[in-house]
Amino acid sequence: MFIHLFLMAAALTCSYPLLWMVASSFKTQDTIFRDMSLIPKEFHFENYYLAFTQGDFGRYLINSIFYTTAVVLGIVFISSLAAYAFSRLSFFGKNIIFIVFMAAMMIPLPGSFVALYVLLNKLHLRNTPLGYILCMINVGLSMSIFLLKTFFDKMPRELEDAARIDGCSKWGIWWHVALPFARPALAVVVVFNALNVWNEYVLALIIFDSKNLMPLQRALMLFRGEFLTNYPLLMAGLTITALPIIIVYLLMQKYIVKGVTGQTVFG
């Protein structure tokens, strides 16, 4: 009973800011700090309409969906191939290359801003969606490769032998055996990297000159002024921003728990 009470208290502590954010999105600028209840006396649904229509919120939302989808697909494809190669193949310099990838995890993203800016300028990729997507793929590769390699290391050799008997090539084993085996780890990779890309703003501010290419976080900044912040619209915008990631997490929750706890799933 005490364990359950403690877990319920922890869950309420974590969920209260989200509930307050949603409740505040239905209030007005005058009542948001005077009415601290989670159920507003009056629901102002127009806040969501204004948040979505003001400042090209729809354009920034589409940009973020495109960037997140492209980056996550790129990370899953590249990291799964690299992790499978590090785990199951033998080639010259494998351990050194893997150590280099792991060492990259110790470099914080702001520490690479100058190098990325210079590199993108030389490649003429600055202020382009492709340049931003490639940078974000690079950011998420090290962690993803490490996580997937851990799962591939646990994959029984008998599965590969059976696949070879059925005529599978190395590509076929990666697609039909390794990826289904690592579904829990893939779910963790998808959610963590999607959250990272969805919330990223500083790197986009450096790479992009055109406001039309900016991600969703740019729209949230429009509700913050130097002297006045429209908090109800900001809370509505934050609610719209958080909703897609919450949905992705809920859909993949089963696999995320198994991936974090190190369990495996066959399919």
Query: How deeply is 81 buried, as exposed, middle or buried, from its count of CB atoms within 10 A (0-12, 13-18, 19+)?
Result: middle
Nearest partner of 87 among 181, 203, 193, judged by Cα? 181
Q: What is the pLDDT of residues 116-162, one digit of tens each?
A: 888 999 999 999 999 999 999 988 898 899 989 988 888 888 888 88
Global confidence as pTM: 0.84
Is residue 9 included in any domain, yes or no?
Answer: no
Is residue 238 included in any domain, yes or no?
Answer: yes
Is residue 207 included in any domain, yes or no?
Answer: yes
Contact call for residues 160 and 234 (beta carbons, < 8 A) = no
Number of domains in the chain: 1
Is residue 190 included in any domain, yes or no?
Answer: yes
Is residue 267 included in any domain, yes or no?
Answer: no
pLDDT recorded at residue 70 = 96
Is residue 10 included in any domain, yes or no?
Answer: no
Is residue 140 included in any domain, yes or no?
Answer: yes
Q: Domain limits at 256?
A: 17-261
CATH, residue 254:
1.10.3720.10
Answer whether residue 222 shows pLDDT above 80: no
Mean pLDDT computed over 250-264: 68
Answer whether residue 265 shows pLDDT above 60: no
pLDDT recorded at residue 262 = 56
Is residue 4 included in any domain, yes or no?
Answer: no
pLDDT recorded at residue 75 = 95
Q: What is the pLDDT of residues 62-88, one digit of tens each?
A: 999 999 999 999 999 999 999 999 998
pLDDT recorded at residue 258 = 66
The residue assigned the tokens 């909703």 is: 243
